[in-house]
Chain A
Amino acid sequence: EVQLVESGGGLVQPGRSLKLSCVASGFTFNNYWMTWIRQAPGKGLEWVASITNTGGSTYYPDSVKGRFTISRDNAKSTLYLQMNSLRSEDTATYYCTRLGRTVAAFAYWGQGTLVTVSS
């Protein structure tokens, strides 16, 4: 069974940094691209970052480019999101996601970890 378990969320002051982790199990981690998606309280979904299966390429929207860094450790089956220069608008639940085996949509989601940016 595919499992994605996020951790690392919490309350952080504006301008500070935070690193999220996602431990994956139930599948061969290094075969899959991975993605972070976030959801502000009561709002819609926003794509945050994607990384190829080898970690050789990464993709970001303009809203986080230059501030957030996605990375992975295939030996530990773990995905990361380093978030720097955090802003109040980064307050959200962050989900770790994986595409389906033959499906280019997000078939697997973690339970999410809440990041609150506030002074």
Chain B
Amino acid sequence: DIRMTQSPASLSASLGETVNIECLASEDIYSDLAWYQQKPGKSPQLLIYNANSLQNGVPSRFSGSGSGTQYSLKINSLQSEDVATYFCQQYNNYPLTFGSGTKLEIK
């Protein structure tokens, strides 16, 4: 199974700041990586797919990068509505696996 190690587990940042969330795969996943945002009490929403492609309707302050085993999600100009938990997920191989999540709060 491909293990997805996500960091940090929690993050506190100020409005307008830039934040980065990392995801490390236990083997090469060839950019078959997605990022999801889950707001409290809601279902997850797709933000990024194929490591760096922005899903329709997602604000451009979100971006993804990486290759091989190392990936990251960047949020520019942090907004109050970005308070959420973020998950990475690999879809290169079964079983599909997720990172453990990063809880983002506003300082």
- Shortest CB–CB separation between residue A64 and chain B, in angstroms? 10
Q: Is A111 an interface residue (CB 8 A)?
A: yes
The reply to whether the CB of B87 lies closer than 8 angstroms to some CB of chain A is yes
Size of the B side of the interface (Cβ < 8 Å), in residues, is: 22
Contact check, B43 vs A107: say whether CB atoms are below 8 A apart: no
Instruction: Please state if B46 and A107 are interface contacts (CB–CB under 8 Å).
Output: yes
Instruction: Show the binding face of B for A, using Cβ within 8 Å.
Output: 32, 34, 36, 43-46, 49-50, 53, 55, 87, 89, 91, 94-101
Asked if B89 contacts A95 (CB within 8 A), the reply is: no
Known interface pairs A109-B43, A111-B43; A103-B95 also in contact (CB < 8 Å): no
* A interface residue numbers (CB < 8 A to B): 35, 44-47, 50, 59, 61-62, 95, 100, 103-107, 109-112
Chain B residue at minimum C-beta to C-beta distance from A99: B91
Q: Provide the residues of chain A in CB contact with B45, threshold 8 Å.
A: 109
- Chain B residues near A112 (CB-CB < 8 A): 43
Contact B32 A47 (CB under 8 A): no
Q: A46-B98, A100-B55, A105-B49 are in contact. Are A95 and B43 (CB under 8 A)?
A: yes
**CB-CB nearest in chain A for B46:** A107
Inter-chain contact A47/B96, CB cutoff 8 Å: yes
- Asked if A45 and B43 sit within 8 Å, CB to CB, the answer is no
> Can you identify 7 A-B contacts, CB atoms within 8 angstroms?
A44-B98, A44-B100, A103-B50, A103-B53, A103-B55, A104-B50, A107-B49
